[in-house]
Homo-oligomer: A and B are copies of this chain.
Amino acid sequence: MGGNVRQTLEFMMYDWLQIEDLCRRERYAMHNRETFNSVLDVSEKIAQEQFAPLNRLTDAQEPEYVDGSVRLPDGVAQALRAYTDAGLLAAGHDEQVGGMQLPYVIDMAANTFFAYSSISLSAFPMLTYANANLIMAHGTESQKKAFAIPQLEGRYFGTMCLSEPAAGSSLGNIATRAAPDGSAYEQDVLGPRYKIKGSKMWISGAEHELTENIVHLVLAKIPDDQGNVIAGPKGISLFVVPKFLPCADGGLNAERNDVVLTGLNHKLGYRGIPNTLLSFGDNGGAVGYRIGEPGQGLALMFHMMNEARVNVGMGATMLGYAGYQVSLDYARERRQGYLRGTKSDAQRHQQARLIEHPDVKRMLLAQKAISEGALALVLYCARLIDDKRTAGAEQRARAELLLELLTPIAKSWPSEWCLEANSLAIQVLGGAGYTRDFPVEQFWRDNRLNMIHEGTHGIQALDLLGRKVRLQDGAAFDLWAEQVRQTIGLASESEEFSAYGAQLAKHLHTLSALTRQSQQPEYEDLSVAHATPYMQAFGHVVIAWLWLQVAMAAKQDSHLDSAFVAGKFAAMQYFFAYELERVPAWLGLLEKADQTVLSMQEAWY
């Protein structure tokens, strides 16, 4: 990665988030900063050498449907092999299953390089990682051995089959059905065996020739004897449905399971990974093994979904960062126009570089403040995931609460604002940015997916205002607000930071009051209508809070070079001056209990 991206990553992890403390926990006792950095080094190298050169190619040559399978450009298999050969899929797992027992924050940091180099290729291991983790957490020993371990080893890849043509955001309405497979139901060592029938839509990576097998995790409902299913999400169960069935000896049946690729979706961006329509059971029923109990399907999926959502935020962040670096490099070289006050012929001899023009400086600083702010957010959440997994009971409980609250922000904020950053990157390049000679237009297209997949922006907003801020009677919100007040308290002790702390306190106060108001019964309909502006305001307050922490950490660090520190301080200032003051416009809608949207009638559009 160019510029000081790596330096920023390490500063945030080691200096700000103090992740070396994790090495005092038994699980990570074999690690230290050097082992962490060696993982980052390997990841950065593979990402740069193997992923980056394919990013444009896989966009231009999108996946092709050929004879029931998918053709990908040359080089993709080799790049992904380099990723899996480095052991990164198992990075967080126990040494005894071939893992490195790395903390989640290092796992995520390693993956930032791949997202930065090619977001869509990095989706193959991301999905596989999530799939394997779910089976490792909830599968039986034989299921782990048959389906998860081969994924950790990179021999199989995995998918998540949730959505259907008529059920996207509304998963409770899925029509895929699972019926016990006769006597095999009870006799298969791989668990309760079913025959699955149904169609799944928007499934990424569901067909390719990259690996020996593909492991689908499929949501379906199990009808009772009368053929009825439980309405809504409670009726959903989870099944593992492999492309090829395992044999008793651990090998694979040559015969394919009854899973057929029905078609490819042709996307705006994110083209390196095929997105598909899959059909299960066209010829009698696809064999699937239930994971967990009937009706637990969505709960088990959400075990994985929260981390997946933070990861979406990370991907959006790195796209923002990538656009920032390209536009920064361009602005440093390209000469165009003159600065104000340039009059003499001598001065006019050479045009100014773009980076000298105030409006370009603004667009670059905006990208920096957004991308680095987003990076702080996703790393902070990764640190919480580590605490949730390995901290002592009290800290763990706090981390779980904070993580629940911040997950919709970690998913939505980078998705929305790093997309804006990508648009600014295009703008800095001007006409050149609008051509496919530069990668910024692809970043912008790729990033547009992130407000849609893994729960749309609107779903995140409802999750935040409808569920998360109400958790345990508002305990999650209160805990978070307490953290923000702590940061404000620290800022108040410093001449340099106290004004920013006070500015943040003002917005926190309004946000807190309106959060309480939104939960009063008479405001519930309105809250649904204002959930997205509320989430936008909340997100900006969160990022301002983190920027304040990051800037204070930078100023305290004597070993950092002064330009680096000044950059962090300037980005924080930018965020407070240009972005944080947008909050009143969003919160004003709740404050005034604005009825415009709720009152809108269909005939009036």
Contact = CB atoms under 8 A, between A and B. Distances in A.
Interface string A159-184: 00001001111100100000000000
Contacts of A360: 458
A411 interface: no
Given A457-B427, A589-B577, A531 B359 contact: yes
B570 A336 contact: no
A86 B598 CA distance: 45
A78 B202 CA distance: 38
Contacts of A357: 458
Contacts of A268: 426, 434-436, 441, 444-445
Contact of A202 (B202, B348, B427, B431): B431
A434 B452 contact: yes
Given A452-B427, A570-B599, A266 B351 contact: no
B525 A336 contact: no
Contacts of A296: none
Interface string A414-449: 000001000100110011011111000100110011
A544 B451 CA distance: 29
Contacts of A525: 340, 358
Contacts of A430: 168-169, 452, 456
Contact of A337 (B170, B328, B573, B604): B170
A355 interface: yes
Nearest to A340: B528
A362 B3 contact: no
Q: Which of A231, A433, A451, A596 has the most CB of B within 10 A?
A: A596
A265 B437 CA distance: 8
B163 A266 contact: no
Contact of A362 (B167, B356, B529, B601): B529
Contacts of A345: 231
A533 B567 CA distance: 22
B458 A434 contact: no
Given A358-B528, A605-B368, A435 B266 contact: yes
A26 interface: no
A10 interface: no
A461 interface: yes
Contacts of A573: 596
Interface in A327-359: 328, 332, 335-338, 340, 345, 348, 351, 355-359
Q: Which of A336, A356, A368 has the most CB of B within 10 A?
A: A336
A566 interface: yes
Interface in A302-328: 328
Contacts of A531: 358-359
Interface stretch (A69-77, A378-386, A578-586): A578-586
A248 interface: no
Nearest to A531: B359
Contact of A592 (B359, B453, B577): B577
Minimum-distance CB pairs A-B, first 10 = A567-B604, A358-B529, A170-B337, A359-B458, A563-B603, A268-B441, A581-B585, A362-B597, A266-B436, A573-B596
Given A266-B437, A268-B436, A578-B585, 15 more contacts: A201-B431, A267-B435, A340-B525, A355-B602, A355-B605, A361-B597, A365-B605, A427-B457, A427-B458, A431-B452, A434-B452, A563-B601, A567-B605, A574-B597, A578-B594
7 contacts: A202-B431, A268-B445, A359-B461, A427-B456, A434-B452, A582-B582, A582-B585
